[in-house]
Amino acid sequence: MQSLTLVGLMLLLPECTSDLTGPETVHVILGTSAHVQCRYSPSYGKNVKYWCRKASRATCPIIVQTSGSEDPVKKDRVSIEDNHSLHRFTVTMEDLTDSDIGMYSCGVQVNGGQDLVVPVNMTTATTEPDHPEQSHDSSLPISSISSLIYVSFLVLIGLKVSILLCLVFTIIWIHRRCRWTSEEVTPETTP
């Protein structure tokens, strides 16, 4: 019964159990660079990772591949870098042209088995990409900057009001304490 439940969960959550994941679609702007990150299971840390262009359903010639180490490898306008501690590799394609648009795959070579492959569709974007890891430009959009300034302003006002209230309550407390002690010290008059 427990194994049936486990199989059911695996069918419902394929991304959680997948040994290799990557973006289904990457929106790029021609003339810029694209950064594609593919994540893999920790057990494949030392395996060779690669980026290939799908020529047909059955073939995917490798464009660039790692040596199994974390050393970056560059071939023409395409580079690949593996990060064993984060269990992901990043492919960078520079100076994108119309001929770069199409189907690619992230791949992990499996010794004695079938390679792990995830298809990635690279399409042209009409505006900036939705995902910062796929963008060539690391600057924030104007709306994000204005939101950041607004939040910073609110935090600053909150801090100033908190400090002012602490000062006011401290002054009131000291004033009352001095008045209490002065009432206790006043000498009693005897008739």
Residue of 67 and 7 predicted with greater confidence: 67
The Cα–Cα gap between 135 and 21 comes to 19
Closest to 96 (Cα-Cα) out of 27, 37, 49: 27
| pLDDT value, residue 188 | 59
* Percentage of the chain exceeding pLDDT 70: 73
Local structure of 42: helix, strand or coil: helix
Residues making up the chain, counted from first to last? 191
| pLDDT value, residue 179 | 77
20 neighbors 26 (Cβ within 8 angstroms): no
Give per-residue pLDDT as tens, 31-54. Answer: 999 999 999 999 999 999 999 999
Residues 128/132/136/142 CA torsion (nearest 10 deg): 60
Confidence of residue 57 (pLDDT cuts 50, 70, 90): confident
74 neighbors 124 (Cβ within 8 angstroms): no
Which residue, chain included where needed, has tokens 């494949």?
Answer: 44
Q: At residue 95, does pLDDT exceed 60?
A: yes
Give per-residue pLDDT as tens, 148-179. Answer: 677 777 888 888 889 999 999 999 988 888 87
Most confidently modeled of 44-58, 88-102, 130-144? 88-102
Which residues on adjacent β-strands are paired with residue 27?
123
Give per-residue pLDDT as tens, 79-91. Answer: 999 999 999 999 9
| pLDDT value, residue 11 | 38
The Cα–Cα gap between 186 and 78 comes to 88
Helices in the chain by DSSP H: which ranges? 2-12, 14-17, 142-185
Which residues on adjacent β-strands are paired with residue 89?
38, 82
74 neighbors 67 (Cβ within 8 angstroms): no
The Cα–Cα gap between 3 and 8 comes to 9
Residue of 140 and 36 predicted with greater confidence: 36
| pLDDT value, residue 149 | 76
Confidence of residue 25 (pLDDT cuts 50, 70, 90): very high
Q: At residue 55, does pLDDT exceed 60?
A: yes
